[in-house]
Amino acid sequence: MNKVLVTGATRGIGKAVFDALSPFCDVYPTARNEALLKTLGAKDYCVCDLSKDIKPLLDFINKHQFDIIINNAGEYIYGGISEMTDEQISSIYNTNLISPVKIVSSAVPYMKSKKWGRIINIGSISGVMGEAYASLYSSTKSGLIGLTKALALELAEYNITVNTINPGWVDTELGNESVTESEFSKEEIVDCIPQKRFVEPCEVAGLVKYLISDEAKGITGQSINLCAGLSVGC
């Protein structure tokens, strides 16, 4: 069975991915909350705060040598750029962009040795379109798209695919917290989504499941919008 690392695996999209892949993969979750990690029943897990010290996770990767990496953990901060503190800037960039880079850097040597691997980054439609008052979030997610394209070229000859999934508004704790922080109500946001709904976490997990399959081996370097039509316009 392939060994899969899922970051931010205790809730939302990460939990849905863990549940979707567990029946046919050895899935190893990582998150900040050890109590929640224990409830998943995984063979092993790693407690790690990606905004601070990622070394425990890098050691975990070197120990287990993963075939598949799902960079899902993310942080969202809403507010004007002039209001952002140094701590907020460091925290969101470490979590959303720098940690995924370090994770991939640690995981790729093993994938190259096997000449097979799958890397999936969970981005955001905000990294595709931009989002006012979420410039830190948008820029980190946009960075994942650039990382994906370059790595796909770099790793293609090793049968390693790299793709990004860009969810729109998702019915998760983080998604609903983002609504609370914004200046719009949920009803106003839904009204701007062509399908008039939030995406379900299981939809993202289903796309992850497909992208790691052999049927998707020709898909690499892609930025796939799973947003209920939001990227097309209102």
User: What are 107's two structure tokens?
Assistant: 């995981």
Q: What is the DSSP letter of 214?
A: G
> In this structure, how many other beta carbons lie within 10 angstroms of the beta carbon of residue 229?
14
3-state secondary structure of 62: helix
Identity of the residue numbered 82: S
Query: Distance from CA of residue 34 to its chain's centroid?
Result: 20
133 labelled catalytic: no
User: What are 63's two structure tokens?
Assistant: 């120990």
At 20, phi and psi to the nearest 5? -70, -35
Please give the Cα distance from 146 to 148 (Å, whole number): 5
Q: Which of 76, 137, 158, 210 is catalytic?
A: 137
**What is the set of active-site residues?**
137
